Amino acid sequence: MLVRVAATSFNPVDDHIRAGVLAEMIPITLPYVPGIDLAGTVAELGADVTGLEAGDRVVAMLPLDSAGAAAEYVLAPAESLAPAPRTTELADAAALPLSGLAAWQTAFELAELKPGRTVLVNGAGGAVGSLVVQLAVDAGAHVTAVDASRHADRLRGYGADRVVGPLTLAVGPAAVGGPFQVVVNHVRVSPEELAQLTNYVADGGVAASTAGPVPEDPARGVRSASLWVRSDGAQLAELVGKLDAGTLRLHVTARRPVAELAAVHEEAGAGRLPGKTVLITP
């Protein structure tokens, strides 16, 4: 499927792939064009593709090893595509695919989230964490969101029951209303601190992490799961539906031309990127 790109977005994994730190897990062939998130318009249909027409607005998470959305046109697997949201600018929709799929797979596949569960989201203000909070609230969970105070109003607006500042892990879970049936971690910390997060999980609960494995505690029935996000057009369509229904919101902090991609990578590496950045193709 040939897609005319409206925008892509920056994800931390883009920087990791460029730097070569994921070479063993994601072998790439040079030249490699970044851009895993895609929002655009179908330009040409592939052979035997049904359900889409030229001119359709679509979103997708492209394969990690080939990507290519930081361009004018890109070839996209038909099974990765979903109709673009109707209620969001097409360029801003590029903020959804990878982050949304990571949130969905963390919440519903790893954590097996159900109504009534108590959930701690550590790193709730980030692109994935923000969507986990909203998916959990929409699923009927009771959410405690953890992040810096600058995110507090937005997280309350998503429906979090409690919003607290960064955890002092050694203090223990009672200080933030725990332990919790589900702990979702998006914050990169030391192995020792990851081990302390296990204490925040209630007996029989689960820790789901995108930032390193949280140790299990078999004696208490605490299990752990780590995410390796995958493209899934059907799940992405579900997320688009929630976006159009108003139960999910995107938080885009910057919109920049794709010509500034190198500068975005540099700023991200230096810790100066303010949040989710969309890169728009002319």
∠ CA 250-226-243, nearest 5°, is 20
- Tokens 């004018």, residue? 72
* pLDDT tens for the 282 residues of the chain, in order: 999 999 999 999 999 898 888 888 888 888 999 999 999 999 999 888 888 999 999 999 999 999 999 999 999 999 999 999 999 999 999 999 999 999 999 999 999 999 999 999 999 999 999 999 999 999 999 999 999 999 999 999 999 999 999 999 999 999 999 999 999 999 999 999 999 999 999 999 999 999 999 999 999 999 999 999 999 999 999 999 999 999 999 999 999 999 999 999 999 988 898 889 999 998
Which residues make Cβ contacts (< 8 Å) with residue 235, sequence separation at least 6?
101, 104, 105
Dist. CA 252–CA 270, nearest whole Å: 20
Bridging pattern class, strands 2-9 and 277-280: antiparallel
**Number of other CB atoms surrounding residue 119 within 10 Å:** 28
Q: Specify the pLDDT at position 237.
A: 98
Whole-Å CA distances, 144 to 41, 121, 129, 178, 228: 38, 6, 12, 9, 24
CB neighbour burial string for 261-275, b if at least 16 within 10 angstroms, e if fewer: beebbebbeeeebee
The pLDDT tens digits for 192-226 are 999 999 999 999 999 999 999 999 999 999 999 99
The pLDDT tens digits for 13-44 are 999 898 888 888 888 888 999 999 999 999 99
pTM exceeding 0.85? yes
Nearest to 11 by CA among 229, 235, 189: 229
Nearest to 193 by CA among 176, 209, 177, 175: 209
- Tokens 């679509």, residue? 58
Q: What is the DSSP string of 131-146?
A: HHHHHHHHTT-EEEEE
